């Protein structure tokens, strides 16, 4: 078993049950996306959202005083 799988198994037992359930759902989603060759697309959308969040409401670039 890869070390990341061992670490995940250990952490799932260590964390609170609700946290473990949420992590299991996220990992299952990642596996499903990867099985359908969609992981890169999801990552691109996440990066796009991070950029939009940085731009602020309405996509406006924040102004700075020089």
Per-residue tens of pLDDT for the chain, all 66 residues: 789 999 999 999 999 999 999 999 999 999 998 999 888 877 788 888 888 888 877 655 555 565
In a domain, 64, yes or no: no
Overall number of domains in the chain: 1
Cα 17 to Cα 23: distance, rounded to the nearest angstrom: 10
**pLDDT score recorded for residue 3:** 92
Q: Please check whether residue 44 lies inside any domain of the structure.
A: yes
In this predicted structure, what is the pLDDT of residue 14?
95
Segments forming the whole domain that contains residue 13: 3-54
d(CA 43, CA 41): 5
Helix axes 17-35 and 3-14, enclosed angle (nearest 10): 150
pLDDT at 58: 66
How high is the pLDDT of residue 2? 86
Q: Is residue 61 part of a domain?
A: no
Note whether residue 65 is domain-resident: no
- pLDDT for the residue 7: 94
């Amino acid at each position: 078993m890869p070390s990341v799988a061992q670490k995940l198994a250990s952490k799932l037992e260590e964390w609170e049950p609700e946290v473990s359930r949420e992590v299991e759902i996220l990992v299952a989603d990642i596996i499903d996306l990867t099985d359908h060759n969609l992981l890169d697309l999801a990552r691109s959308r996440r990066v796009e959202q991070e950029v939009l969040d940085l731009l602020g409401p309405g996509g406006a670039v924040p102004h700075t005083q020089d």
